[in-house]
């Protein structure tokens, strides 16, 4: 009887040790899974912070108002949210709930960023502004007396006079579709801005961009000169809409709606 009892106790103890080992392994596996889950959430929070910082910069917001490096201030009266049972939710459920909220916020921020990038792009390709940083309008669009023949002629752009080597800038983002010498125009650059708009910059002393280059709004594309049919340093500026020249004056003072 004693041997049988000892055997029974030994078997029970062995089973308990096995159960304990199983629980230990399950606990370690659960802890490992939760650790990985928390690391994933921390990585996504870092991404959200980065998105927030980019949006703050893009929207030119006050960083004091939207500081993504600080914990948000919260408060309010204490309320009973657990109900009558007061049984706390499982920790893994809280993690999963937090993950869902993070996923929702991340998608919202990414959508907002996409919209702001689109808006920024639309502003960049919007044809507006002067083609020079310094200079004055010396000749307008339309009928004028030709400076070489003295006869009435048609001027298909506007001229901005300035100092030799003055900077000439793109009035909108686009792709360079011409960069070189053109009869009468001298050193010439033409940019395709999309939506039917193109601009031309002529009489340049030196072109700083080449065919196929992508340029940004305000980028310096050439240095002012007096090449081609010209009486002095200036840039001849033309605006084309669907292939036809239009008065650049309407775009020089244009504002984005």
Whether 103 and 149 share a structural domain: no
pLDDT of 36 reads: 77
Any domain includes 81: no
Residue 135 burial (C-beta neighbours within 10 Å; 0-12, 13-18, 19+): buried
What domain range is 19 assigned to? 2-70+91-125
What residue spans of the chain are helical by DSSP H? Answer: 2-58, 91-125, 249-252
Total domain count, the chain: 2
User: In DSSP terms, which residues pair with 223 in a beta bridge?
Assistant: 167, 206
- Judged against a pLDDT cut of 90, whether residue 17 lies above it is answered with no
Distance from the Cα of residue 12 to its chain's centroid: 67
C-alpha 244/C-alpha 179 separation (Å) is 20
Contact 147, 203 (CB under 8 A): no
Phi/psi at 241 (5° precision): -125, 115
The enclosing domain of 144 has a CATH number of 2.70.70.10
Q: Which of 81, 102, 125 is the last residue of a domain?
A: 125
Whether 115 and 26 share a structural domain: yes
Any domain includes 248: yes
Q: Express each pLDDT in 119-172 by its tens digit.
A: 655 677 789 899 999 999 999 998 888 788 888 888 999 999 999 999 999 999
pLDDT of 102 reads: 73
Whether 161 and 111 share a structural domain: no
Any domain includes 201: yes
CA neighbor of 256 nearest in space, from 125, 131, 130, 126: 126
Any domain includes 214: yes
Q: How confident is the model at residue 82 (pLDDT cuts 50, 70, 90)?
A: very low
Whether 105 and 203 share a structural domain: no
Whether 6 and 121 share a structural domain: yes
C-alpha 237/C-alpha 189 separation (Å) is 10
Whether 248 and 157 share a structural domain: yes
Task: Specify the range with the lowest mean pLDDT, choosing from 22-26, 149-153, 253-257.
Answer: 253-257
Any domain includes 77: no
Any domain includes 80: no
Q: Express each pLDDT in 200-248 by its tens digit.
A: 999 999 999 999 898 999 999 999 999 999 999 999 999 999 999 999 9
219 Cβ contact partners less than 8 Å away, ≥ 6 residues apart: 169, 170
Tokens at 253, concatenated: 């003072």
Question: Taking residues 56-73, what's their average pLDDT?
Answer: 55
Any domain includes 8: yes
CB atoms within 10 A of CB 162: 19
Around 105, how many Cα atoms within 13 Å sit in the side-chain half-sphere? 16
Counting residues of the chain whose pLDDT is more than 90, the rounded percentage is 38
Q: How confident is the model at residue 65 (pLDDT cuts 50, 70, 90)?
A: very low
Q: Average model confidence (pLDDT) for the chain?
A: 78
Any domain includes 78: no
Whether 187 and 110 share a structural domain: no
Tokens at 31, concatenated: 């802890």
């Amino acid at each position: 009887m004693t041997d049988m009892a000892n055997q029974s106790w030994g078997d029970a103890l062995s089973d308990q040790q096995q159960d304990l080992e199983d629980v230990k392994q399950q606990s370690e596996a659960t802890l490992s899974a939760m650790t990985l889950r928390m690391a994933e959430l921390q990585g996504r929070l870092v991404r959200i912070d980065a998105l927030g910082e980019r949006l703050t910069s893009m929207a030119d917001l006050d960083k004091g108002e939207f500081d993504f490096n600080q914990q948000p201030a919260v408060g309010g009266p204490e309320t009973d949210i657990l109900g009558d049972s007061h049984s706390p939710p499982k920790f893994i459920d809280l993690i999963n709930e937090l993950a869902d909220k993070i996923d929702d916020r991340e998608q919202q921020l990414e959508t907002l960023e996409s919209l702001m990038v689109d808006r920024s792009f639309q502003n960049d390709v919007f044809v507006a502004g002067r083609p020079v940083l310094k200079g004055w309008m010396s000749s307008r669009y339309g009928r004028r007396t030709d400076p070489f023949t003295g006869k009435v002629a048609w001027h298909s752009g506007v001229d901005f006079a300035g100092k030799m080597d003055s900077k000439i800038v793109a009035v909108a983002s686009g792709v360079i579709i011409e960069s070189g010498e053109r009869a009468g125009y001298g050193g010439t650059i033409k940019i395709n801005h999309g939506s039917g708009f193109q601009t031309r910059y002529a009489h340049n002393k030196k072109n700083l961009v080449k065919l196929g280059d992508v340029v940004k709004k305000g980028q310096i594309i050439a240095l002012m000169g007096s090449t081609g049919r010209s009486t002095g340093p200036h840039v001849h500026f033309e605006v084309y809409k669907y292939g036809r020249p239009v008065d650049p004056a309407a775009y020089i003072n244009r504002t984005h709606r």
